[in-house]
A and B are shown apart, each in its own frame.
Chain A
Amino acid sequence: DQQVKQNSPSLSVQEGRISILNCDYTNSMFDYFLWYKKYPAEGPTFLISISSIKDKNEDGRFTVFLNKSAKHLSLHIVPSQPGDSAVYFCAALYTGNQFYFGTGTSLTVIP
């Protein structure tokens, strides 16, 4: 049973435009959410996170939005750069428990 879902397997965006990656979850107990970025032949690396007490967290070009009522979070990348091309995983956990990951979205930024 997939508790964290990324319904878009892939996304293509022009360089300089905004990339929006979406994630939905089912467990209302989740209180911490993360985005990871993964390049081929490498392990996932942490990108940005958000606590359930917030609805937005920003770090440079990356912003994560959390809508608890909709059980939805999104990652915005502005402006998108070719180096952002990677697979992005969203993850969730509650009370320091295990991480639940989505299936990933492959982002391609076209120069």
Chain B
Amino acid sequence: DAGVIQSPRHEVTEMGQEVTLRCKPISGHDYLFWYRQTMMRGLELLIYFNNNVPIDDSGMPEDRFSAKMPNASFSTLKIQPSEPRDSAVYFCASRPGTDMNTEAFFGQGTRLTVV
């Protein structure tokens, strides 16, 4: 397996534009997580899914952020409209559901810059 795949690796957009980040989890993994890395808060959980169902989205900063998981192999994180303070590295991670205590596997991240 190629691991968790995120695209794009880098995204530069203008304030007010819509941004969509994409993630392909590891095949067979039941859990998918979206994190944002900031200096102040480290790896901040935005939302996570179990079997394609959103379980906890309390970390989504505001209504401008939305996430979907239409099937087991694909998830998107959308920001509309984007703002400069959204600039960060966004990570997607997945883990199996068979063992409740196991590590999550991370993608390489998407570095978002909103100008």
A residues contacting B by CB (< 8 A) are: 2, 6, 31-32, 34, 36, 41-46, 49, 51, 89, 91, 93, 95-96, 98-104
Please tell me if the beta carbons of B41 and A2 are within 8 angstroms of each other in the complex: yes
Kindly provide the distance from the CB of A48 to the nearest chain B CB, expressed in whole angstroms: 10
Q: Does B115 touch A at the CB level, under 8 Å? A: no
Evaluate whether A96 and B100 lie within 8 angstroms (CB atoms) in the complex, with A2-B41, A44-B43, A103-B40 already known. yes
Query: Which one of B44, B101, B107 lies within 8 Å of A43 (CB-CB)?
Result: B107
Residues of B in contact with A, size category: 20 to 34
B residues contacting A by CB (< 8 A) are: 4, 33, 35, 39-45, 48, 55-56, 91, 93, 97, 100-101, 103-109
Q: A101 to chain B: which residues have CB within 8 Å?
A: 35, 42-45
In whole angstroms, what is the CA distance A31 to B39 when docked?
Answer: 26
Kindly provide the distance from the CB of B39 to the nearest chain A CB, expressed in whole angstroms: 8
Evaluate whether A43 and B33 lie within 8 angstroms (CB atoms) in the complex, with A31-B101, A99-B45 already known. no
Please tell me if the beta carbons of B106 and A43 are within 8 angstroms of each other in the complex: yes
